[in-house]
Structure 1
Amino acid sequence: MAKKAKKIVRREYTKADVKELRAHSKARTPLANIMKLTKRTEGSLRQKARNLGISLGHRR
């Protein structure tokens, strides 16, 4: 039997999510940490950040 494909569940970004994303950008939090905290994919976070005009994924 073939494995069932995982159903894609889309979650809208709330005002609180956007505020948190901006705070992480300002604090220069690594993207891996933001992914774990928000339970969102790298692609999702990068797309939202791009739409907001902020940068993410800072290396140290």
Structure 2
Amino acid sequence: MSKPPRNHGKTWTSSDNKALKQLASQNTPTRVIGLKIGRTADAVQSHASEIGVSLKPTNQSPYGTKKK
């Protein structure tokens, strides 16, 4: 069994929120955000949803819209 992340069970701070927003705006993968903040990828996804931060990549076009 792996050890829990360093911030496991702790509340999210304003600096954690700021880092999450900044990394999400840079299209950083959820797993990498979790490693940098010290949270699991599931915790990052859940908290991002709670505070209204989108983790969808902004540099990709939707399916089927690519011109031939």
Q: TM-score range by the shorter chain?
A: 0.7 to 0.9
Q: TM-score, normalised by structure 2?
A: 0.65
Match of 1:29 in 2: 28
Percent identity at matched positions? 26
Question: Over residues 2-58 of structure 1, what are the superposed CA-to-partner deviations in whole Å (9 max), with x where a residue is unaligned?
Answer: xxxx89x41100000000000011111111211211110111111110011111264
1:38 counterpart = 2:20: no
Residues 28 and 57 in structure 1, CA contact (< 8 A), matched pair in contact too? yes
Q: 4+ residue stretches of structure 1 with deviation over 6 A?
A: none
Within a 5 Å distance, the mapping from 1:1-60 to structure 2 comes to 9-56=8-55, 58=57
Counterparts of 1:45 and 1:20, CA distance in 2: 11
Paired residues in the alignment total 54
Say what the alpha-carbon RMSD is for the aligned residues. Answer: 2.3
Which runs of no fewer than 5 residues in structure 2 stay unpaired? 61-68
| Higher helix residue share | 1
Larger radius of gyration: 2
Which structure 1 segments of 5+ residues have no match? 1-5
Higher relative contact order (CA 8 A, sep 6+): 1
